[in-house]
A and B are shown apart, each in its own frame.
Chain A
Amino acid sequence: MSSITTFDPLVDAPKHHHPVYDYDSGPPVERGKFAIWLFLATEVMFFAGLIGAYIVLRSATESWPNPEERLAVDITAFNTFVLIVSSWLMVKALFAAEAGDRSGILKWLGLTILGGTLFVSIQVYEYIVLFGEGNLPRTDLFWSTFYLMTGFHGTHVVVGLIWLICAWVAAARGKYTPKNYLGLELAGLYWHFVDLVWVLLFTIVYLF
């Protein structure tokens, strides 16, 4: 092949001791944050799939049972309150991080984790009660859609909690400076997202 240049050590051999460089192109947003928002977009589509299925089955059904008769709206309303509070505490933690007040981070983040744990325990309790009453996913469509959506949200909450705990440890190690607390911010974004999804789920599962 005329066009193919053969190997010439002088030009073609890798030059050693070269610096590995890293630079930033494009819009002013940290890679981590960019990626997390991409990830959140996929999460939105995931829940869109689940909720969409529910809405379709639901709105095509005449005899859909009344959720208020089957579910404890009051307890869950309180649970929603808990999650919103923890979301708010998370914001506090971020502000603390921004101010560079480590003990502040630990306090607020700790409370956030507490709130999340409370939420999960209440939901677990709810499940136990419901199972006790013999309401299983196989019982009927109401329950299968219910467990599908709340179940996947629950797992997301647990994941979020683990993430927050890691962030708490990192904070305790003093990893977050007012200049760079992105790690904490990302955990927070995920946590808020979980909260956001719940706001919607609570409405359409418990109140519709």
Chain B
Amino acid sequence: MSSSISSTPLGIDPPGTVHVTHDHHELGFWRKYVFSVDHKVIGIQFLFTGLFTLLLGGLMAMAIRWQLAFPWTQMPILGKILFPETGGVATPEGYTMLFTMHGTIMVFFVIIPLLTGAFGNFLIPLMIGAPDMAFPKLNMLGYWWMWPGIALILLAFGTEGGGPASGWTAYPPLSTIEAAAPGSMSGQTLWLLALTFSGVSSMMGAINYVTTIVKMRAPGLSLFRMPLSIWGLFIAALLQLFALPVLTAAGFMQLFDRIFDAGFFTPPDIVVNGFSAEAAGNAAGGHPLLWQHLFWFYSHPAVYIMVLPAMGFVSDILAVHARKPIFGYKPMVYSISAIAGLGFIVWGHHMFMSGMNPTVGMVFMTATIMIALPSAVKVFNWLGTLWGARIRLTTPMLFALAFVSMFIIGGLSGIWMASTPVDIYIHDTYIVVAHFHYVVFAGSVLAIFGAIYHWFPKMFGRMMNETLGKIHFLGTFIFTNGVFFMMHQIGIAGLMRRTADPYAYETYAHLQPLNEFISYCAFALLFWQIFFVVNLVVSLGWGKRVGRNPWGATTLEWDAPSPPGHGNFDSQLVVVRGAYEYAVPGEDADFLPQNDPSAVPDGPTHAPHAPTPAPVHASS
């Protein structure tokens, strides 16, 4: 049977319907684990798919690092797979394909599926006290639509000419004219199709999330009682809905250019590697920058899609393991929304050097710099939350703390690039690479690790091993910084990205030792993940069984059994207070579950005469 809520195609029963479950006749294996419509199963499917693609992307990163440390030397292991024809030595075009695929996979098939797909699916219904998503079948569809995307993007490697090679940004005309690069043959077409698939997938997801959050919150769970994870996922879903279609449109235009020679992005009178659009009788007269505008209109909001949910998870993890209410809950919510809103008017900061009208660039700069403001509010409120807390240094907490620390670094380096004159020098140098890996790997991915450790007990009813977890954290934290902090240095030295072999230039020759150091850290980072994988596997089978609420947390998901049965909760929940009632004075428990009717109702969201915590001394 399909989930009882979803028994109608769109889940459009008149509201208030109470279905009686048919839990008893068991589902077959396929319906239960493969084509399941249960949001928990789908979430876990997304989780493992995402980890798998993360491994792929990570391995490609290792190949990149090898080439940068020891250019044109035989690459161990990976070389055999990636460059068989040269006996494991990277080729120039092969390198361009490597980072293109690395970036694409990491952005579209790792971070977004993990954050919104895995945790969005698993957490949203549980955290708002709903039995399932609004449209479970659509949900399942969303998962399965991602697979053609993954298949196509991997297939691209096999096509004649090899995988796409125009960067994850796919700037035309390089990406639209087949003669321009080996990878711009059918590989690029597959790339576009893959993106469309993943786009449709996250579209289905986003519609589902927003509808569920708006329409299916448990009685009493007002918007301003929602956990910040839900807020993060909610706003991220809205970003998807309003930004992604534009990329889809642009993607179709690029497909038109490639398949029908439509020339939207092809300026006239260019001769690319002997090929001339006019001579071939193709349309021309379009503008390359048009693509950049449309692409970044999506892809800048996308970077916030890649961080807002992570921020939400971190806020929740901090509160739970610090046993303290979130400091400034409402400012947190407003800043999430502000980041999202501003995110729509800053995309041009990726185009300062692109030949864009420099006056327009000035406007973009001002808007961009202003985004630091809501981010600042978040950072300071996290510190405020921790101040005067009783922190428990559990593994999830460690990763959450790491996120705060790392996001500050990544965010601050954004300020340089936001300032147009400085960006003249650092655009497309490794400072940019350092910047976005700090926010996206050291930020989002570490937050994802934290979220896995934190919600694993809820997902599988077992704890992950704390000792292994802490070992995993220690190494990951150290090597991550080893890899990415040094990239600032080579960036300031002027090394630009997407360069297969920088050392031919006298300007860069002396940077090889540093690059080698970075690469060694990267390899160590990869191997260190073994502790995580082992921990994952062992805990799945033999981890300590836990109860419903191992961490002593207040939010609704911890009221369900671990793992939650079909329909999630034993009975209808009624929410009586905000999500962060920890250490309430005069209560004997140091946390008050949102749905626990005993004790005081909602605490004031702002205690006017609260003891002033000390960050003020530090931050002024």
Contacts and interface: CB of A to CB of B under 8 A. Distances in A.
Q: Please determine if A and B sit in direct contact within the complex, based on CB atoms under 8 angstroms apart.
A: yes
Interface of A: 1, 3-8, 11-27, 30-32, 34-35, 38-39, 41-50, 52-53, 56-57, 60-61, 136-141, 143-145, 147-148, 152, 179-180, 182-183, 186
Nearest to A3: B552
B571 A18 contact: yes
B294 A49 contact: yes
A7 B547 contact: yes
B164 to A, nearest CB: 21
B551 A19 contact: no
Given A34-B214, A56-B290, A144-B262, A41 B5 contact: no
B549 A5 contact: yes
A21 B16 CA distance: 9
Contacts of B552: 3, 5
B12 interface: yes
Contact of A22 (B17, B262, B550, B561): B17
Given A19-B20, A31-B211, A46 B567 contact: no
B451 to A, nearest CB: 18
Contact of B215 (A15, A24, A49, A147): A24
B370 to A, nearest CB: 24
Given A22-B5, A61-B285, 14 more contacts: A7-B546, A20-B131, A20-B567, A21-B131, A23-B218, A26-B215, A30-B14, A32-B10, A34-B211, A45-B246, A57-B286, A138-B262, A138-B283, A140-B263
Contacts of B175: none
A164 to B, nearest CB: 16
A143 B260 CA distance: 11
Of the listed residues A20, A26, A31, A56, the one surrounded by the most CB atoms of chain B closer than 10 A to its CB is: A20
B18 A21 contact: yes
Contacts of A4: 463, 544, 546, 550-551
Q: Secondary structure of the B side of the interface?
A: loop
A143 B546 contact: no
Contacts of A57: 264, 285-287, 290
B305 interface: no
A144 B283 contact: yes
B261 A183 contact: no
Given A5-B546, A182-B12, A42 B244 contact: yes
Contact of B548 (A12, A21, A44, A180): A12
B286 A22 contact: no
A70 to B, nearest CB: 14
B21 A18 contact: yes
21 contacts: A1-B466, A3-B551, A4-B546, A5-B552, A15-B570, A18-B565, A20-B19, A25-B219, A26-B214, A30-B12, A31-B215, A35-B211, A38-B210, A42-B203, A49-B250, A57-B264, A136-B260, A137-B256, A141-B284, A148-B252, A182-B12
